[in-house]
Amino acid sequence: MLCPYCAFDESNVLESRDSEDGKATRRRRECLKCKKRFTTYERVGNIELKIIKKDGRVQDYNREKLEKCFEKACWKLTKDERSKLIDEIEMKLLNWKSVEIPSREIGLMVMDKLKNIDQVAYIRFATVYLDVKNVGDFEKIIKNLKMTANPSLKKVRLKN
């Protein structure tokens, strides 16, 4: 680890502890050359997942896309609350049977999370994700949402 002050590449670890709910390790270090102290964080690197788009293209997984999606859909939630939801989805993705995941599955995971947390955010996301073109499609989304609140209603299917 390079010292941020003098760029020397050797340091002693003075203290280590879990950070960010166990998702990172915080280390307090001291440079062996200049004796200044600094903090480093150790996290899991990139998630090596591939996303299969609707048109068949394959892209690398990008957490920022999910962050933007949640930010637009549920702007009332705090950044930490949104981050926790994304973490839960990422855990499902990491446990997927393959490293290639259809984008529609991620969309369904997002809708499932939003349905239970913020119904307005669910509708906001669903109208974009399901490519709503008219009021009839919009009504189907609302009927589907109501059906989950009242399981005795017959399930309504959308085009996707």
Per-domain boundaries in the chain: 11-43, 60-149
pLDDT at 57: 95
pLDDT at 46: 61
Contact in structure between 66 and 33 (CB atoms under 8 Å) = no
Residue 101, classed as helix, strand or coil, is strand
Give the model confidence (pLDDT) of 97-133 as tens digits.
Answer: 999 999 999 999 999 898 888 888 888 888 888 888 8
What's the per-residue H, E or C state across 41-64? EEECCCCCCEEECCCCCEEECCHH
Q: Is the pLDDT of residue 159 over 60?
A: no
pLDDT at 47: 63
The first and second tokens of residue 75, run together, are 């702007």
Give the model confidence (pLDDT) of 27-81 as tens digits.
Answer: 999 999 999 999 998 877 666 899 999 999 999 999 899 999 898 888 888 888 8
Tell me if the pTM is above 0.95.
no
Query: Rounded to an integer, what distance in angstroms lies between the CA atom of residue 60 and that of residue 28?
Result: 33
- Tell me the CA distances in angstroms from 43 to 19, 46, 47, 155, one per residue in order: 10, 9, 11, 42
Contact in structure between 27 and 39 (CB atoms under 8 Å) = yes
Q: Is the pLDDT of residue 157 over 70?
A: no
pLDDT at 149: 62
Longest distance between any two alpha carbons in the chain, whole Å: 71
Query: Rounded to an integer, what distance in angstroms lies between the CA atom of residue 52 and that of residue 78?
Result: 30
